[in-house]
A and B are shown apart, each in its own frame.
Chain A
Amino acid sequence: MSTLKPVLSRTFQLILVLWAVVTILFLMFRLMPGNPLAAYIDPTFTLEQQEALIRQFGLDESLLRQYFTYLGNLLQGELGYSFRYRTPVAERIWLLLPNTLILTFSSLIVAYIFGILAGAWLAWRRASRAEAFALPIVLATRAMPEFWLGMVLLAIFSFSLGIFPAGGTRSAGTEYESLWSLYTSADFLSHLALPMLTLAIYSQGLPLLLMRSNMLDVMKEDFVTMAKVKGLSPYTIVIKHGARNALLPVMTSFAISVGYQLQGNVVVESVFSWPGLGRELVSAVSASDYPLAQGAFLMIAVVVILMNLIADLLYTFLDPRISHA
């Protein structure tokens, strides 16, 4: 009962936010200046052909009507037709989403494992020379433009050293039975390495700094002092009490990071020719393919919102002060 409550109320909130984002998206794309189809109407078209195209995309209806059609379609999981590809947007997006998710999650998992360990270590070595050296570097990694980092890594590890391939998810023409067999293949992993590393280097700063500052805070808590007074071993004190408590917000931040990372992917996917949602969004936007851009945007927004919810719930479930209220 007590665990159901936050889930319900947060889910309710999520639906509201989702609706608001969907509406903003709709307005954003419909109220843009100019004819949305302009880029796709060939000058040689007759007036009838032009009108047919406008009708085909339902752009002749009133704004309100378009809005309700759009909402109705969304409820059925339809995102309309791409202007450019003339095919259903949802189809393309479902094809690209797994690539984006695997990149996002693999990089974050690496970033979090490293960040948590390094953060705990730096907290342990607080006020040491190691810290004075490491902190500015960590802060600088968060200040790097991701695409720049990606390009530099590409230049070193791919162009110069030839260790990793320069882009894509697999070698030309290779075939896999399923996504799973693809994702577990050495070929895929070697393609994943550089973009994953780029994102991981950028992302590790958050868990690292968070872990470190939480550890430092926790180590000042009364219960840690009491653990010392109890004569418990340093391992118990630092790991079981310090790290365990410090981890809580770090775990929560993971979900939020997924949302953030998805946004960062937009640039990195373009650098590494990664066939994901971000690159699709960029190319759809440059091509004025409104329905596709809208669909890709919406999908990213949904993941962001979902992850915000999961972060909230994680916090609720992981902290016994809330879950056992």
Chain B
Amino acid sequence: MKTLFKLASTSLVGMALLAGPTWAQDQIRTIHLLSRPQAAQPAEFQAVQLIAQEWRKLGLDVEVDVMPWEQMSSAVWYDRDKWDVTAWQMTGRPERSDPDEIIYNLFHSSTAESGYNFIGYSNPEYDAVVEKQRVTIDPAERQKLVRQAQEILAKDQPNMMLVHPEQAFAFDKNIWEEDSVVNQSGIGIRNTWTWLSLAPKTDQKDIIVNSSDNVIAVNPLYISGVTDSFITELLYDRLFRVGPDGLPTEWAAETFEWRDDKTIAVTIRSDMMWHDGKPVTAEDVKFSYETTTGGEAPMYAPFGQSISSVEIEGDNVVVFTLTNPSASFITSSLAKINLIPKHVWEPILADLATKEENAESYQEEMPIGSGPYKFDRWLTNEEIVLSANSGHFNAPQAERWILRLVPNAEAALGMLRSGEINFLTDFAGDPQVLIDAAEADGDIEVVSTVDIGFRYVAFNNRRAPFDDPAFRSALSSAVDRRLIVKAAFKGFAVASNSVVSPALEFWHDKAVVENFKAGPDIAKSMLDEAGYTIVDGRLAYPEGVKETLGE
């Protein structure tokens, strides 16, 4: 009843089922493939349609269920054993420039219960490798381990890796100096460095950017969304920042020194001021780190979990002691955690301690940071205005940074052309349309970059038939990635078989990608080999395996 226009083959199957003979081999149930709506994620939606079409050719009955992100995430994260296959993505964040977060969190068996390993992948050999790379400080050594992890994943295919997308952004070159735009490796031109260095050509000194997501909160203790983090990155300083080259560089930290495997001493800048005029002290830094792990900021807590203590030495030295050696500590903790003013947050946190709510629920009227931009005002669902902090050690060239909330791509492009925005920072549409529009317009420059992030289809490794690596490999091989690159991403992506982006040249394992072969025939022979056969037009389990999850 629900599917209106079933393909002819499915109705044939339906008729066959009505006849109801018993089979030696159980047919595989209808597989539900989750996707986000076309309006929100056209490329993903299209890829899912293509994948479903290819899988159906193998004799699998596939139904595509479309739901908005919030519903999809709850369906996948919350009921971990209830879904089959889902389209998924990892976005490129600066701190993901270190491969640890992805190769460890996504696939280590310890995170399967409630962490990022939502697919339930469990391989002791893999676990050992990623544990080891964590504590290996020597880069060459670590590089080997990271590549080994990639090879294991390629063999097991816990996910069907699709592509590393190329993100396209654009700006108005009549307004901004082209060479003042910073292209951050694996991130693109939409990055904090750009907002600092962007130099105006004319009297228009406001950077006007767009987002299709609503701003949920401006809160240094709450990871509330990608868009929101643009703002917190500008409002709040961190000890380090991931530089345009993808490597961490000192920011609020003047210098640093590893005293041993587990101890790092950071000297902070002495000239920093909070936006309310009070100086930034080592005390504030200590407070910031303690707050993060203190229980009131659950989403930031994992980023500080390797810290065992924070001590102040003298006026401006902060010493972090770690529980274990950590290769990625600077990137994932020191370049991640926001510095917040103790005088503002101490009373707030004291108050919150007595309540059910935690710091994530607290929205300051006027957020106070020490960052290169100051908070100006926030018009609900319309715009957020930040103004340049001229006293900052890295003061921006622009006067204001204005984020406009524009729900659809069509309007965003229209606004870029009409000058209502001058820097396109969120474009979910077809990049080719953007490039064509830029060409027609003449004033618009489009820059696209391969992302650290990636798109993939996650198999639920807990559920049959996806618990069988052979089956997963076959399904993954069924779809030629060139099809996905061309047909879904319009060429604005690179085919992938590794979770480590080619943008991270040092860590990326080229061989894994080059050796991957795909095509319907390959998939069919893989299934044959593993004992899967077609029973009356529909794919069935190998003998002895029963379908226990049929509807």
Contact = CB atoms under 8 A, between A and B. Distances in A.
Given A34-B74, A158-B418, A288-B70, A44 B216 contact: no
B294 to A, nearest CB: 13
Interface in B361-400: 361-363, 377, 379-383, 385, 400
Contacts of B216: 84-85
B410 A39 contact: no
Interface stretch (A10-18, A164-172, A303-311, A314-322): A164-172
B302 interface: yes
Given A84-B216, A172-B420, A279-B407, A166 B415 contact: yes
Interface in B348-371: 356-358, 360-363
Contacts of B361: 56, 81, 86-87
B380 A167 contact: no
A154 interface: yes
Contacts of A159: 414, 417-418
B488 interface: no
Interface in B65-80: 68-71, 73-74, 77-78
B533 to A, nearest CB: 37
A280 to B, nearest CB: 6
A275 B404 contact: no
A96 interface: yes
A43 B414 CA distance: 38
B414 A158 contact: yes
A49 interface: yes
Contact of B217 (A52, A55, A85): A85
Given A172-B404, A273-B406, A288-B70, A43 B380 contact: no
B400 A275 contact: no
A173 B402 contact: yes
B381 A275 contact: yes
Interface stretch (B110-118, B315-323, B478-486, B524-532): B110-118
Interface in A64-95: 81, 84-87, 92, 95
B205 to A, nearest CB: 10
A271 interface: yes
B208 interface: yes
Contacts of A288: 68, 70-71, 74
A283 B362 CA distance: 21
Contact of B70 (A154, A275, A287): A287
Contact of A43 (B115, B360, B400): B115
Interface residues of A, number: 49
Contacts of B78: 35, 38, 41, 43
A204 B361 CA distance: 45
Contact of A280 (B114, B379, B381, B400): B381
B491 interface: no
Dominant secondary structure of chain A at its interface with chain B:
loop
A173 B356 contact: no
A62 interface: no
B297 to A, nearest CB: 11
A276 B418 CA distance: 23
B115 A95 contact: no
B400 A173 contact: yes
A321 to B, nearest CB: 46
A45 interface: yes
A270 B420 CA distance: 17
A286 B381 contact: no
B77 A275 contact: no
Interface string A26-38: 0000000011001
B206 interface: yes
A273 B411 CA distance: 8
Interface centre among A39, A87, A95 (most CB of B within 10 A): A39
A162 interface: yes
B410 A151 contact: yes
Contacts of B363: 85-87
Interface string B470-497: 0000000000000000000000000000
A165 B73 contact: no
Contact of B415 (A165, A170, A271): A165
Given A43-B118, A86-B217, A279 B298 contact: no
Contacts of A52: 356, 358
A172 B217 contact: no
B383 A172 contact: yes
B405 interface: yes
A240 to B, nearest CB: 47
B418 A166 contact: yes
B332 to A, nearest CB: 14
A167 B415 contact: yes
A42 interface: yes
Nearest to A82: B216
B380 A275 contact: yes
B402 A42 contact: no
B197 interface: no
B115 A154 contact: no
A96 B381 contact: yes
A96 B380 contact: yes
A129 B400 CA distance: 58
B408 interface: yes
Contacts of A81: 361
Interface in B392-438: 400, 402, 404-408, 410-411, 414-415, 417-418, 420-421
A105 to B, nearest CB: 19
A41 B78 CA distance: 8
B385 A273 contact: no
B381 A56 contact: no
Contacts of B383: 168, 172-173
A28 to B, nearest CB: 17
Given A270-B407, A283-B214, A86 B360 contact: yes
A172 B357 CA distance: 34
Contacts of B115: 43-44
Nearest to B219: A86
Given A55-B356, A275-B380, A166 B400 contact: no
A216 B299 CA distance: 67
A88 B88 CA distance: 32
A171 B402 CA distance: 11
A217 B365 CA distance: 59
Nearest to B405: A273
A166 B410 CA distance: 9
A44 B420 contact: no
B333 to A, nearest CB: 15
Given A55-B356, A166-B414, A173-B400, A43 B77 contact: yes
B411 A167 contact: yes
Contacts of A271: 408, 411
A119 B469 CA distance: 71
A118 B165 CA distance: 54
Interface string A203-224: 0000000000000000000000
Interface in A254-275: 270-273, 275
A293 B356 CA distance: 23
Contacts of A86: 217, 357, 360-363
The 7 closest A-B pairs by CB, nearest first: A38-B74, A275-B381, A86-B361, A166-B414, A39-B70, A56-B356, A286-B68
6 contacts: A43-B116, A44-B116, A87-B361, A96-B381, A165-B420, A173-B402
Given A55-B356, A56-B357, 8 more contacts: A49-B298, A84-B216, A95-B380, A154-B410, A162-B418, A168-B383, A173-B206, A288-B74
Interface of A: 34-35, 38-39, 41-45, 49, 52, 55-56, 81, 84-87, 92, 95-96, 151, 154, 158-159, 162, 165-173, 175, 270-273, 275-276, 279-280, 283, 286-289
Interface of B: 68-71, 73-74, 77-78, 114-116, 118, 206, 208, 214, 216-217, 298-299, 301-302, 356-358, 360-363, 377, 379-383, 385, 400, 402, 404-408, 410-411, 414-415, 417-418, 420-421
